[in-house]
Structure 1
């Protein structure tokens, strides 16, 4: 339990800047009205972005379906979680964009935007995890984007599908972006427009 608290504490302290536009709520099977959809499942229903803690590994991106309490987790193979799950929420959904990127061009493509940070890969203190998605086998699936120093030039999207963890080189990345270049809550100016 101390390790769970440690990981959630790291995320809360290290990534507090993101809390100006998004925050996390405990997920108990009910999707709150301020949850940010991440895509659609094969039947056209909304699916949501979440994070789940995996003991001994860290906090990873998960896809949440309304009414389901267990999530699939891409964490060094396929894993599942049914507790320690949070769902991404915002009061400002208009400040979120999905931008296309690749494993090779990730660093160049994020100039001027802020990737949404979800968790932390604690295996070898690898680093933060961002939110990505891909259209795969008829549905939009979210997963981990892994911009670790050791993966520079090879920042892939990892996602679970049919109980297997998969990686792709072409995907969309969730970013926070304020179109007029001025972030009203924290007063920063974005130098690059998309």
Structure 2
């Protein structure tokens, strides 16, 4: 009996992460070794058909900022500040959870605040001393780009990494969350 218990304990420890991911809400999971979890949220597709995943990277003295993740790639490139894109290899998370609870809605820099009054935006992170950010997406050159929406500003562009340059756009889609049994306008 003791031998059975000894073998059962490591097995139970090994399946805890999978059991914890069986939840209704989205959550952020550590992104390690370039491995995309099975329950990672697909943010869009590249022109070649490969998936783009939604990442969150911590930058010291700046906060948790949205980035793109690609399967098999360990490092991410994060649009930081003032046209700078930083390469990050540690402290990266990937958005996970049931895809059916998340949806994209087109909006722009002038209407995003009104949209968020009656809808739940997916929290993408924060910028230290400024506020929370949301997750945005655009289609460019036949593929998707994921970026950050600084909703704490009055005029709200989406910033994204485009060939290692931070660029912005005033029209984009924002990722929203649909709570179970919630009625959204």
TM-score (norm 1): 0.78
User: Is 1:52 the counterpart of 2:53 in the alignment?
Assistant: no
Q: 2:106 aligns with which of 90, 100, 106?
A: 100
What is the 5 A alignment of 1:109-124? 109-122=115-128
State the SS of the aligned residue for 1:135: strand
2:41 pairs with one of 27, 36, 44: 36
Moved over 2 A (4+): none
> What CA distance in whole angstroms lies between the structure 2 residues aligned with 1:145 and 1:51?
13
2:94 paired residue number: 87
Partner secondary structure for residue 117 of structure 2:
coil
Bigger radius of gyration: 2
Give the superposed CA RMSD: 1.4
Instruction: Give TM-score, length-normalised by structure 2.
Output: 0.82
Q: Distance in 2 between matches of 1:86 and 1:159?
A: 17
What is the alpha-carbon distance in structure 1 between the residues aligned to residue 173 and residue 124 of structure 2? 15
The answer to whether residue 71 in structure 2 is matched with residue 66 in structure 1 is yes
Q: 1:1-194 to 2 correspondence within 5 Å?
A: 21-28=25-32, 29-76=34-81, 77-90=84-97, 92-122=98-128, 125-148=129-152, 151-152=153-154, 154-178=155-179, 183-184=180-181, 189-190=182-183, 192-193=184-185
* Unaligned stretches of 5+ residues in structure 2: 1-22
Q: 1:114 & 1:144 partners in 2: Cα distance?
A: 16
**Secondary structure in 2 matching 1:110:** helix
Deviation at 1:20, TM superposition (A): 5.5
Structure 1: where are the runs of 5+ without partners? Answer: 1-18
